[in-house]
Structure 1
Amino acid sequence: MSIEVGEAEFTGLAQRHRRELHVHCYRMLGSFEDAEDTVQETFLRAWRRRETYEGRASFRAWLYRIATNASLDLLAQRRPEPATGGEVPWLQPYPDRLLDELADPAADPESAVVAQETIELAYVVAVQHLAPRPRAVLILRDVLGWPARDVAELLGDSVNSVNSALQRARAALREHLPADRQDWTGGSGGSGDDDATRELVRRFTEATVATDVEAIAAMLRPDVTSSMPPTPGLRVGRDAVLADWVADGFTELDGLRAVPTAVNRQPAIAFYLWREDAAAHLPLTIDVLRITDGAVADVVIFGADRFPSLALPSRLDAPA
């Protein structure tokens, strides 16, 4: 028996879950823009199929089912093959200001830890290396905590098949996670809430503005990694990372300014470069840092096209 839901009531119920559905689609897809498109598709499908909502499950769970299937459909159309080689060309950052719209973490501290760790870029990158259906099983079971029988119903599969897929997905995930984040139990990474992390980010920012390669090198782990989606190329190791930056003209940059921010619950710095023709500093890159044991373990660099989605200024005028 279907439940009658009016348009105004439906809109109110759906909008209440928009942010968490967006984050769910982002984990599935690794792209902020694709997640936005998929949430819109989810709401469209839900409205068209509103008569199929029978009230046996929560409205929230019903929306998650639709969002998961919409994500799987998009993956089948655009990215039938998962990422390889540690790189995710379609990776985009997720602003912390929007993650702050999610439920109060004080209500469920354990779930809050899982929610934070599974939004970090290293986790999102690792998940993108899984095939779509095992990826969905992993996220539904380990992130959302769905029972195996509910996941099986959503995917049209058996409970045994879901449990088997989950074990394989967990094993594959570990192959693509950083060695220091195998268990995802908290402590490293994060958005820089501790004094030591804030100090390291401050020094990294100052050294970058000064284009001081030697100072930056002292803050990088020997096994540091760096990437710049969508440009191909994962650099591994301090020497390789610094050589790549220098080859790209880092030491020739003159007139950098920095704005601190946070994405994916990690510290980030937006860099602006002085442009004489604009008489202002204009967007250049966003460096997202993963910090482990007091050193930078990973730097993901995004281009100027990501500034609008992070609500960063489009220009910094010259100081008075």
Structure 2
Amino acid sequence: MAELTYAVETQGAVMTGEAEFARRTEPFRKELLAHCYRMLASVHEAEDVVQETYLRAWRSYSAFEGRSSIRVWLYRIATNACLTALEQRGRRALPSGLGAPATDLAPGPAAADVAFVEPMADSLVLSESSDPASIVTTRESLRLALIAALQYLPAKQRAVLILREVLAFPAAEVARMLDTSVAAVKSTLQRARARLDETAFGEITEPTDPHAQALLAEYITGFENADTAALERALRADAAIEMVGTTTWFNGRVMCLRVLAEAVGSPGDWRMLPIVANGQPAVGAYVRSPAGDYEPYGVAVLTPTPTGLTRISVFSTPSLVTRFGLPATLPAD
């Protein structure tokens, strides 16, 4: 009887511990996912690292002494898990970071040996209950150009810059997270700032802004109605199109319009559903099949500015549409 009582009490203690652990750690899951995504530029890799972070945290929770906050402790585990993951692979990129723009319309071959930056749905890291200021700040730190630029930094510089500049952790906290000195953190941050491409912080209009919504509407109209005039109105003179998954990208409104004019086909060939990715307006794209319904094509992330769209990043991966919570197919009109 004593053994049975001990077993029941032990099981109850474990269940109580799990509940307490979940209560204290779950509120940070979405922001940890955003952090790991900034480090890794891959949604599925970030999700894996967050799962690993929570597993490691649970295993060592009984030894947590409260010398730092739960949030700092989780970030320490997550950041070091990201650094370990980065030791095993090269950086991710966008086509514009791999070479010069294309000078003709011939599609480039798929680059199977290149790891590309992946788009992230805002809904994965933002809650409807978040305050507006927090939403804006998070979106700014997830812009596609910034995520791509971060990948050019060495892993330790990337970690320090994100922890200090994006998340605003004190230098002393960052030093403890990375088992280094405050002086080393400050020096690393200076080098990271010097290397980071300034274009990563260019002016981008919020996706909820009426002007950004108008540009999104022009883009959707252009494709669904095969209306190249609408696309021309939306594009800035220095606009670029990136065909993610290949090394091909196009630069300048004239060249981009040639690409788009060839892509739009006939009215009704495309259906576009608006979404938000990386804090930017985007669409889930569907193309009409021979049967008349619409099959998924992928996701296009738009970069709106006060003077027009400056970049269209096309991710021609059909499975992306369902990752953004969209239907796997659309019925015929």
How does the TM-score come out when normalised to structure 1?
A: 0.85
Taking the aligned partners of 1:222 and 1:116, their CA distance within structure 2 comes to 25
SS at match of 1:232: coil
Judged with a 3 Å threshold, the aligned counterparts in structure 2 of structure 1 residues 118 and 315 are, in CA distance, closer, same or farther, namely same
Partner residue in 2 for 1:143: 166
Judged with a 3 Å threshold, the aligned counterparts in structure 2 of structure 1 residues 102 and 6 are, in CA distance, closer, same or farther, namely farther
Taking the aligned partners of 2:128 and 2:191, their CA distance within structure 1 comes to 30
> Aligned-pair distance for 1:43?
1.1
Q: Once structures 1 and 2 are overlaid, which stretch shifts more, 218-227 or 232-241?
A: 232-241
Partner residue in 2 for 1:285: 298
Identity across the alignment (%)? 38
Partner residue in 2 for 1:169: 192
Taking the aligned partners of 1:272 and 1:280, their CA distance within structure 2 comes to 9
> Aligned-pair distance for 1:52?
3.4
Q: Once structures 1 and 2 are overlaid, which stretch shifts more, 138-147 or 93-102?
A: 93-102
Q: Does 1:313 align with 2:327?
A: yes
Partner residue in 2 for 1:265: 279
Q: Once structures 1 and 2 are overlaid, which stretch shifts more, 156-165 or 97-106?
A: 97-106
Partner residue in 2 for 1:101: 127
Q: Once structures 1 and 2 are overlaid, which stretch shifts more, 91-100 or 208-217?
A: 208-217
1:86, 1:234 within 8 Å by CA — same for their partners in 2? Answer: no
Q: How many residues align?
A: 301
Taking the aligned partners of 2:151 and 2:237, their CA distance within structure 1 comes to 26
Q: Does 1:67 align with 2:90?
A: no
Taking the aligned partners of 1:86 and 1:45, their CA distance within structure 2 comes to 35
Q: Does 1:124 align with 2:147?
A: yes
**Superposition map of 1:232-251 within 5 A:** 232-245=247-260, 249-251=262-264
Judged with a 3 Å threshold, the aligned counterparts in structure 2 of structure 1 residues 112 and 207 are, in CA distance, closer, same or farther, namely closer
1:116, 1:265 within 8 Å by CA — same for their partners in 2? Answer: yes
1:113-155: CA deviation from partner (whole Å, max 9, x where unpaired) = 4322111112111111211110000000011111111111222
Partner residue in 1 for 2:110: none
Taking the aligned partners of 2:205 and 2:246, their CA distance within structure 1 comes to 24
> In structure 1, what residue type is equivalent to 2:283?
I
Partner residue in 1 for 2:4: none
Partner residue in 1 for 2:116: 90
Taking the aligned partners of 2:27 and 2:242, their CA distance within structure 1 comes to 35
Judged with a 3 Å threshold, the aligned counterparts in structure 2 of structure 1 residues 170 and 62 are, in CA distance, closer, same or farther, namely same
> Aligned-pair distance for 1:251?
4.2
Q: Once structures 1 and 2 are overlaid, which stretch shifts more, 237-246 or 223-232?
A: 237-246
Judged with a 3 Å threshold, the aligned counterparts in structure 2 of structure 1 residues 89 and 224 are, in CA distance, closer, same or farther, namely farther
> In structure 1, what residue type is equivalent to 2:300?
D
1:78-105: CA deviation from partner (whole Å, max 9, x where unpaired) = 22x5648625842112212233327622
Partner residue in 2 for 1:184: none
> In structure 2, what residue type is equivalent to 1:204?
Y
Taking the aligned partners of 1:282 and 1:25, their CA distance within structure 2 comes to 31
SS at match of 1:60: helix
Unaligned runs of 5+ in 1: 182-187
1:224, 1:298 within 8 Å by CA — same for their partners in 2? Answer: yes
Partner residue in 2 for 1:185: none
Correspondent of 1:12 among 23, 26, 30: 23
Taking the aligned partners of 1:97 and 1:124, their CA distance within structure 2 comes to 17
> Aligned-pair distance for 1:308?
1.6
> Aligned-pair distance for 1:112?
4.6
Taking the aligned partners of 1:235 and 1:164, their CA distance within structure 2 comes to 37
Partner residue in 1 for 2:10: none
Taking the aligned partners of 2:126 and 2:165, their CA distance within structure 1 comes to 21
Taking the aligned partners of 2:232 and 2:183, their CA distance within structure 1 comes to 49
> In structure 2, what residue type is equivalent to 1:281?
Y
